Chain A
Amino acid sequence: MSSLKLSRRGFVAAASAATAALPVLGRSAFAAETVDVIVVGGGLSGLHAALTLQELGLRAIVLEAGAQAGGRVKTVTTAEGAIDVGASQIGRSYARVIKACDTFGLKLVPEDRDLLGFGAHFMDSWIDPKTWADNPLNQCVGEERAIPPMLMGQAVVAKYNPLHELEDWLDPRFGTYDISLRQLMEQKGYSAAAIKLASYSAPGIGIDETSLLRMWQEDTRTALDKKLGGPATQEEHRDHPFGEANNRQQVNGLARISNIEGGCQKLPLAMAAKLGDRLRLNKAVARIEMSDTGASVTCSDGSAYKARFVVSAIPFSMLRGVEIVAAPKPAARQAIARMPYANTARMYVTVEKPFWLEDGLPPSFSTDGPMGMFWAIDNHKGTGAHRAMIVMVGNVAQAIAQRPGAGVEQFLLDELARLRPASKGLVRIATYKDWLRDPLQRGCGFSLAPGQVNAFARTMVEPWQVMHFAGEHTRRLDFGMESAFESGERAALEIYGRA
C-alpha cells in the first residue's frame, strides 16, 4: 500500500520534472478536480477563508488532514462532561467570532473558570506572594523584590511595552526590540535572581526563545479588549494572576470572557456543515506545485486538485512537511522552515474534595518544576468537587512533550502529590492534551524567535505566486480565535482582488 503511494508520487514528481516548462494546469497524469481556490486546512482560518470566498463568488474547497474540522479548537467528551482543550476564550472585541456565533445560532456564555487564590512553590519552599518582598529566599534587588516570583516575566514584559497601535509590533521603528526578554532585562540592569525568576513566567516559549515584539503584540491587543469593556466598575482580583476571575459585567451582552455553550468546537463544526461537500476530510496535503497562474495540490492518498489559487491555512509547523514546488521565495521558505511553535499541555482533572482546606496551602499555585501550574477552579460553593487543571506553558510545556507519552499523566499526578500530599487519591483525570504531540498541529501557537520579526515576519504573509497565507501565525492585529478569522478574511479578500 505504502509502496504504491510512493511510486505514484514518484511518478508525478518525475512527470513534473520532465515538463517543467509547461503551465501547471493540465499537466498531471491524473484526473484532478478543478476549482477556483484550494484551501489547505480546516481550522477556523481555513473555514472562514472558504466561506468568505464562496460569498465573494469563488468556488473553494477545503482539504483537511484530520477526520474532523476545527484545528486547535477542540472539544473533548469526557466522563466529566465536554471539555475545551484548545481555544475557547472569546473576548468582547472578537468581532468576527461573535458575528459567526450569532450567524450559526451558537450561544455565548460567561466563562466559568475563576481561579482560586494563588501561591508559589519555588526553590523547594512555599512562598506567600504577600510577604515575598521580605522573604530571605528573595535574592532580587531593589524594586524587583516586590514583584511576586511567579509574575516576574509578565510584569517586566508589560512594564516596558512601548507599543500603542495594534500594528506597531511590525513597525520597523520598533525593530531594535526584536530581542529576547533576557536581553531586555540585562539592558535594564535586572539582577540575575530576577532574570532567573522571569525565566519561569516569560510569555511565549521562553526568556531566550521568543522575540519581545511577539510578546508585546499579545500585550497590546489585550489592552484593546479591555478598553472595549468600558470603564472598569468591578474590582479586578489581584490574587488571580493567571486568568483572573471573569468580569461578568455585561457589555454588549457579553462578559469579558465568553465560551460557546456546549463546547467551542461547535463553531468550526457549524462552519463545516455550511461548507458541506466542499470540505474534504482525511485529505493530508503532501505537495503543492505552483506557477504564476495556477496550482496543483496532491494529497498523501494520491488524490489531486487544481485551482487558480491556494490558501495555506495550516500552521508552518505542518506546512514545512509539505513539498512546495514553486518560484524561489527565500523569505517564505525561511519562515515556513524556521518559525518556532509554542506549546501548551494541560491535564484536566476533578478534585473530589478541596485538599487545600486540609493542608492550608493556597488552592492554585505556580512551581519552578516540571508540572508548571496547578489551577483550582472556583465551584462557587467552596466544598465538594472542584474542576482543576495542571497547566504547562513555555519551556515547561516543551519539556513535558519530550517525556514518554504513556507515563505523563501518572507523572503529573505523582508530582502534584509530592508537593501536595493531601491531594493523594482525590484527583481524577478527565483528559490530557499536549498540543506539541498532536501530529496535525505540532504546537499550540506560533512564536517568533529574536531576530525573526526583522527577518521575515513583516513580509511572510505576502502571496507566494498563487498561494496566500492564513492561520493565526499570519495575524496582523488580532489574537486568539479572532486572529484566525482575521487571517482567513484577509486571504480571501487578497484573492478576490486578484481573481
Chain B
Amino acid sequence: MKMSWILASALVAATPGMAWAGEAPAGNAAVGQKLFIQCRACHTVDGTAAHTIGPNLNGVVGARAGARKGYAYSQAMAASGLVWNAKTLDRFLTRPSTAVPGTKMAFAGIAAPKARADMIAYLATLRR
C-alpha cells in the first residue's frame, strides 16, 4: 500500500529517537508537550474542545492549513495552500510571519531546531 509522504513524515516525526529524513533532529513528544506551554493560551488540543483565539490543533499534522471548520482564519492562512507536515510546520514554527505573511498568529517563533522537532513530534500525537 502506498503511504503518502505527508503521513509518513508525520509518523516519523512522532517516533522519538528516529532521525527524520537526515535533515532535522528527531523530536521528543514529551518535551514538545512541555514546550506547548507557549501555545496553549490560544490553542486547544482535545478533539472535542472549541477553538479559542487560535484554532483547535487536534489532527493538525496531515491537515490542510486554514481548513478547520468554525475558525475564522486570516486570509493569508486560508489561501496559503499549505499542508501541515514536519517540513511545513518546521518552517512555520521558525517564524510564522515569514512562512505565512499576514497570519494573525502573534508568535515570534521557536529558534532552536531541536525544540521545533520536539513540538512537531508532540503535535503529531494529537489525534482524536
Contact = CB atoms under 8 A, between A and B. Distances in A.
B101 interface: yes
Interface of A: 52, 55-56, 92-93, 95-96, 98-99, 164-167, 221, 224, 227-228, 230, 252, 476-478, 489-490, 493, 496-497
Contact of A56 (B37, B54, B107): B37
A252 B52 contact: yes
Interface of B: 34-35, 37-38, 40-42, 52-54, 72, 74, 95, 97, 101-102, 104, 106-108, 112, 115
A497 B108 contact: no
5 contacts: A93-B106, A95-B52, A95-B106, A166-B97, A224-B106
Contacts, number: 53
A95 B41 CA distance: 5
Contacts of B40: 99
B41 A99 contact: yes
Contact of A477 (B37, B108, B115): B108
A228 B112 contact: no
Contacts of B35: 493, 496
Nearest to B110: A493
A52 B102 contact: no
B32 to A, nearest CB: 12
Contact of A489 (B38, B52, B95, B104): B38
Contact of A164 (B54, B102, B108): B102
B38 A252 contact: no
The 4 A-B pairs with the shortest beta carbon distances in the complex, nearest first, are: A95-B41, A165-B97, A99-B41, A96-B41
A167 B97 CA distance: 8
A221 B74 CA distance: 15
B37 A230 contact: no
A227 B104 contact: yes
A478 B41 contact: no
A55 B36 CA distance: 12
A228 B38 contact: no
Contacts of B106: 93, 95, 166, 221, 224, 477-478
B42 A95 contact: yes
Contacts of A165: 97, 101-102
